[in-house]
Structure 1
């Protein structure tokens, strides 16, 4: 099993999250009851906060972005918090052991940054009623457990708009980790954005069956270049794709964090996760005893996701177009899956004037028009 999925739960995750967590809308938050058993932090004592990471903090991807958020929280709250993290934690038994130890060590707020940590988090939380837990990308709630996720489909759409304008071959390569709704949603949002600026462009997808494997990511990127792609993007964690693009002189987008350091000339922008404000707000809520069990799914407007600064190689009129759409996302007047949305077979999945709701996004198992190939089957 791997980060953010629990492959054996993948068929349930989308619908369950939508049913138990998200109300339809741009900023979906289900308010829960304030935790009656939580004890306020003693005066003048820092709040101890623990983090559980699947990958290394130096992956420059998912884990790196979460650790930037942890460091932002420390900078915001100074001596009011004391943080610790454990990296390279596998799901299952290892995760439960690490989470339990963090609770035993006196951490009163614990962030578990993977859907694969969801069940271990719920299990440990039952034994530590005075500890608050937050699980990233999970769909289960409990009296002392909340969950959170970023609406990365918004910045994905924006990068797609750029790709449509920057490609010369009209072939864009996408390196995917696992064919689960989270990744498929990102590919589809990217393609919707790309087709809005260049209806002739198409997306080719290769799957590496790993979140962080620089060698496989590079190999897939090279294969996509060989098949005619002159722009690359990814839903994986390392900088290998951007590095190869820089070597080959083609454009690329980073993911999770600003990856411009890996491609100073050809990196166009990155889809970035920004966890610092969320972590700070949750720590403050625990400190003042106002924390509530809820599901949070926030976008650009709330500062949880965005794009990094755009490369000046992107024409000014394209940057203006992207910024205008970004403003529409912030204002709530546009959505990455505004209808009409067609699938690969030309079937209208979202009619004109409608928007694909949260349930539909979280259970997405189909490609939109403009993507080549089929979605691989996952063996449960």
Structure 2
């Protein structure tokens, strides 16, 4: 009888203990979850590949400002390789970086194929390519809607010209340059239907000597407003020597020709770079093509030069707000090409894909696109 009572008591004690343990489980689980949430996530190793040097004052300078924001935000020291030519050398550099980094930003159009090739070999590395169109599972693309501030710069040029002769020094005949020249021309013609935009090509991104010569060739033809797509300020400096209004590209170039500077499209990569790195840390990164415009703050206009008339500033700011608000699109019809063929019908808008593959000039451009 004592043995039976002892067994019954033992069973009851075990049941009480089990219930006690069961009731404590939510508290234990909660504690474990709390501890897990406080564990710091690994910050990835980040690398950048530049076509030039930050000292160019333009394209690379703006990318490097973005890189510095990444370093400051995440407390890291990113890797940078400067002056990397587009071609075989780029692929070699990118592959070397892929062996030691988690995210690689390649910042020039000509890096597209090298980046894509290396991405196939390193599926665990994230590759981000600026201004290209090829993507992969571990490779995305990004670029600004340069045609938006390009249009606004054209509005200013159309208001400022006295003889209706405007010049534009193009870099390379690739879509991003072509659609910016077209947008610039459309902007100028929106306020002055009589203008003509003469285009010459420097076939450079950063070569002050070549870019100066290209600018002079247009200045010798009598243009009284000169826009330039390159990274150096050589073109606007040449214009200043002739007392001609000048516009640069990518970054605020006011200091290089303060008396004759107008404005120009600018880029702000920093917030986007931070967003990409954070998405990798959070495990939410996905491949795709990102196009940021005025509304997103990826592109903008540099502050106007001190001698730009107030009415020109006011008009440009008005048009800028209309673009931000979506009241109109740059490439909305009717739009004709140089030969007069309708490329965008009235009431229609050019799709993003067609903008990003543009290989024709609008009516009002005097120049050719080399094959």
TM-score, length basis structure 1: 0.84
Give the drift of 1:63: 1.5
1:104 and 2:117 matched: no
- Once the two structures are superposed, what CA deviation does each residue of 1:209-267 show, in whole Å capped at 9, x if it has no partner? 22221111111111111101011101212110111122222111110111111111111
Aligned residues: 333
Q: Which residue of 146, 154, 166 corresponds with 2:148? A: 154
Question: Could you say which residue in structure 1 is the equivalent of 2:84?
Answer: 89
- Once the two structures are superposed, what CA deviation does each residue of 1:4-49 show, in whole Å capped at 9, x if it has no partner? xxxxxxxxxxxxxxxxxxxxxxxxxxxxxxxxxxxxxx93754321
Question: Could you say which residue in structure 2 is the equivalent of 1:35?
Answer: none
1:67 and 2:81 matched: no
Q: Which residue of 45, 48, 55 corresponds with 2:45? A: 48
* Aligned pairs (5 A) from 1:1-380: 43=40, 46-75=43-72, 77-79=73-75, 81-105=76-100, 107-376=101-370, 378=371
Q: Give the greater-gyration-radius structure (CA).
A: 2
Give the drift of 1:92: 2.8
Secondary structure at the counterpart of residue 300 of structure 2: strand
Give the drift of 1:360: 2.2
Secondary structure at the counterpart of residue 197 of structure 2: strand
Q: Is the 8 A contact 1:206 1:220 kept in 2?
A: yes
Secondary structure at the counterpart of residue 375 of structure 1: coil
Secondary structure at the counterpart of residue 168 of structure 2: strand
Q: Is the 8 A contact 2:145 2:291 kept in 1?
A: yes
**Change in CA separation of 1:127 and 1:365 when aligned onto 2, cut-off 3 Å:** closer
**Change in CA separation of 1:265 and 1:252 when aligned onto 2, cut-off 3 Å:** same
Secondary structure at the counterpart of residue 206 of structure 1: strand
TM-score, length basis structure 2: 0.86
- Counterpart CA distance in 2 for 1:182 and 1:281 is 23
Structure 1 stretch displaced more, 197-206 or 122-131: 122-131
| Structure (1 or 2) with the greater helix fraction | 2
Secondary structure at the counterpart of residue 143 of structure 2: strand
- Counterpart CA distance in 2 for 1:67 and 1:73 is 10
Q: Is the 8 A contact 1:246 1:262 kept in 2?
A: no
Secondary structure at the counterpart of residue 264 of structure 2: strand
Per chain length, whose mean CA-contact separation is higher, i.e. which structure has more relative contact order (CA < 8 Å, sep 6+)?
Answer: 1
Which segments of 5 or more consecutive residues in structure 2 lack a partner in the other structure? 1-38
Which segments of 5 or more consecutive residues in structure 1 lack a partner in the other structure? 1-41
Q: Is the 8 A contact 2:259 2:306 kept in 1?
A: no
- Once the two structures are superposed, what CA deviation does each residue of 1:126-171 show, in whole Å capped at 9, x if it has no partner? 3322221101112121111111111000000000000011111210
Secondary structure at the counterpart of residue 168 of structure 1: coil
Q: Is the 8 A contact 2:126 2:138 kept in 1?
A: yes
- Counterpart CA distance in 2 for 1:375 and 1:123 is 28
Secondary structure at the counterpart of residue 125 of structure 1: helix
Give the drift of 1:311: 2.0
- Counterpart CA distance in 2 for 1:369 and 1:318 is 24
- Counterpart CA distance in 1 for 2:41 and 2:126 is 19
- Counterpart CA distance in 2 for 1:373 and 1:147 is 30
Q: Is the 8 A contact 1:325 1:334 kept in 2?
A: no
- Counterpart CA distance in 1 for 2:43 and 2:361 is 48
- Counterpart CA distance in 2 for 1:128 and 1:342 is 45
- Counterpart CA distance in 1 for 2:41 and 2:279 is 16
- Counterpart CA distance in 2 for 1:358 and 1:219 is 34
